[in-house]
Amino acid sequence: MGLTVTTLWWLGHNAVASLERHGLSLGFGFLKQPANFAIGDTAWLSFSPENTVGRAILVGFLNTALISALGCVLAIALGFFVGVLRLSPNPAVGGLARAGVEVMRNTPLLLLLLLLAASLHGLPPAERALHPAPGVFLSDRGLILPEIRVSGLTVWLGAATLATVLLRRALGRLGWRVAAMAAVASVASLVVRPPVVGVARLDGFNFAGGTTLSPEFAALLAALVLHQSAHISEVVRGAIVAVPRGQRDAARALGLSRFQVLRLVTVPLALRAMVPLLATNCVSLIKNSSLAVAVGFPDVVSVLNTVGNQTGHNLETMLMMMVLYLSLSFAVAGALNRYNTALLARGAPAR
């Protein structure tokens, strides 16, 4: 105890001394200084070098949030698909899925990321872009996809639907009804103001219309999704295999069809076992998104690192990085604990 305190004091004392030697002071005042560096990819917020350091970090954070959200959704979707494929009684299907999973699980994520980034940068220029599907282009500018623009009305109604679903407890018995009404209204708004689909076309040396994913973003997203989905597919497979055979047999004996057994018995039981592991997989995807540094995608770690190197406030930026990731991990851990408690309250299967 005494030793720990003494060591910590000694380290802290040295840190303060070396900061003084470099003419630096502790504090977060540097967040208000102009950033003086550009950020290539920005989601939602615009950014220019005259903006403050604080805004730069916020832009980086939004980039991390965007790639993590997209990555988690896509990785879970692909992981489910591959996990189910692996259970196929058809050896060809199962074997192909297994080969893919083995390659992903036995090579480092960073290797995949660097390989994808190098291949994307090695793609032909825009005027000779690969054109694998209508509206989809692959060139050294990145991945260009069709853009679906929904009206503002739909966005608001969709947000309202989500809010009512989340707040259904507070709304009491009316909760689901309100949510259903909001959902119907948002679907109706799609008919009243139909979404516009913007397809990219070549305009000179670049593309006009559509959404562009920069090569860095596309490489990072693809690498994260491919790598994590391999791990998720194992979780999915394990959870489905772990559903006791007797449960399925009993459901069949009650006269449920194969599809009903899957929908009403196997999937709900498997999901219960899966959710905590899916959440930890999402957390590790979010932590892995910090590999953005290696390909130059401006995520929060990369921006904080740039800021630390430029201003010399490495201590503060590191602190921000740690707090950010720790609060995320703790939030997920807390949510999982609540989920498990709720599950026990509802009567989880006896183990």
Partner 1 sequence: MTAMIGVRRSFATPLNTALTMVVVSVVAVLAIPLARWAVLDATWSGTAQDCRAASGACWVFVGHKASFILFGLYPAAERWRPESALLALLGLIVMTGMPRCWNRWLPVAWAAGLATAWGLMRGVGGLPVVATQEWGGLPVTIMLTAVGLGLGFPLGVALALGRRSRYAVPRAIARTLVEVVRGVPLIAVLYLAVLVFPLALPPAITLDKLLLVQAAVALFASAYLAEAVRSGLQMVPQGRMDAASALGLGWWPAMRLVILPEALRIVIPSFISIAVGFFQDTSLIVIVGLFDLLNTARLAAQDPAWLGFSTEAFVFVGAIYFCGSALLSRYGRWLEHRMAAARRGSEATR
Binding site for partner 1 (CB under 8 A): 1, 4, 11-12, 14-15, 17-19, 21, 88-93, 96, 102-103, 105-111, 114-115, 118-119, 122, 287-288, 290-291, 293-294, 301, 305, 308, 314-315, 318, 321-322, 325-326, 328-330
Strands (E), the chain: 130-133, 136-139, 142-145, 147-149, 196-198, 201-203, 206-208, 211-213
Closer CB to partner 1, 213 or 292, in the complex:
292
CB of 19 to partner 1, least distance (A): 7
Closer CB to partner 1, 33 or 329, in the complex:
329
Nearest to 305 by CA among 295, 113, 315, 325: 315
CB of 284 to partner 1, least distance (A): 9
Residues paired with residue 198 on neighbouring β-strands, in sequence order:
147
- Decide: 277 and 340 in contact? Cβ < 8 Å: no
- 3-state DSSP assignment of residue 50: coil
Q: How distant, in Å, are the alpha carbons of 129, 140, 236 from that of 75?
A: 27, 25, 12
CB of 21 to partner 1, least distance (A): 7
Residues paired with residue 145 on neighbouring β-strands, in sequence order:
211
Q: At 13, which amino acid appears?
A: H
- End-to-end Cα spacing for the chain: 41
Closer CB to partner 1, 157 or 221, in the complex:
221
CB of 14 to partner 1, least distance (A): 5
Instruction: Kindly report the backbone phi and psi dihedral angles of residue 33, in degrees, each rounded to the nearest multiple of 5, phi listed first.
Output: -70, 155
Closer CB to partner 1, 85 or 278, in the complex:
85
- Decide: 161 and 146 in contact? Cβ < 8 Å: no
Q: Residue 209, by phi and psi: left (phi above 0), alpha (psi -120 to 50) or beta?
A: left
CB of 161 to partner 1, least distance (A): 33
Closer CB to partner 1, 188 or 326, in the complex:
326
Closer CB to partner 1, 101 or 182, in the complex:
101
Distance CA 103, CA 87 (A): 18
CB of 290 to partner 1, least distance (A): 4
Closer CB to partner 1, 148 or 322, in the complex:
322
Nearest to 291 by CA among 39, 71, 141: 71
CB of 190 to partner 1, least distance (A): 33
